[in-house]
Amino acid sequence: MTVSLSRLERQLGYTFKDQELMVLALTHRSFAGRNNERLEFLGDAILNFAAGEALFERFPQAREGQLSRLRARLVKGETLAVLARGFGLGEYLRLGSGELKSGGFRRESILADALEALIGAIYLDAGMETAKERVVAWLASEIESLTLVDTNKDPKTRPQEYLQSRGCELPRYEVVDIQGEP
């Protein structure tokens, strides 16, 4: 496993001093009792901070709401899963047999969670500056492509804010149909 982890480290642009942190970050809860969930929690916080700081610097004229919407785009599971796939992260994950059989190594949520866990592991291994530098480097093209022009609120938020501003009751939503895989 050491040789293949070296290849992943090259993809990530970071070499771990403590390889056990890296292995733990790649260990899904289906594999073992000791898993990457705590590292994922830590990595999520660092990811949000690093992305927020990068956006704060890139868009000095942006309002808080605009920055929040831009950050949400950067740190969403879909974006993280694309990055994780680019690193080939799925082939390094330690999954239980059930997750392996069901294709867990391709599942967006598992890939995104493992990437967050790796961020947490890098933080513990080398500190905040290194973790932030890796996050910003990984997200660089995404950050570069963002503009303040496309920070419009989603169709659900706009009417809710309109109603709230006028002291009206908020709409109630009802699920009419559910389709596709969960």
Catalytic center residues: 44, 116
Q: How many CB atoms lie within 10 A of CB 57?
A: 10
Distance in angstroms (rounded) separating the CA atoms of residues 24 and 38: 10
* Complete DSSP assignment for 38-66: HHHHHHHHHHHHHHHHHHHHH-TT--HHH
> Contact 45/119 with Cβ under 8 angstroms?
no
> Contact 121/39 with Cβ under 8 angstroms?
yes
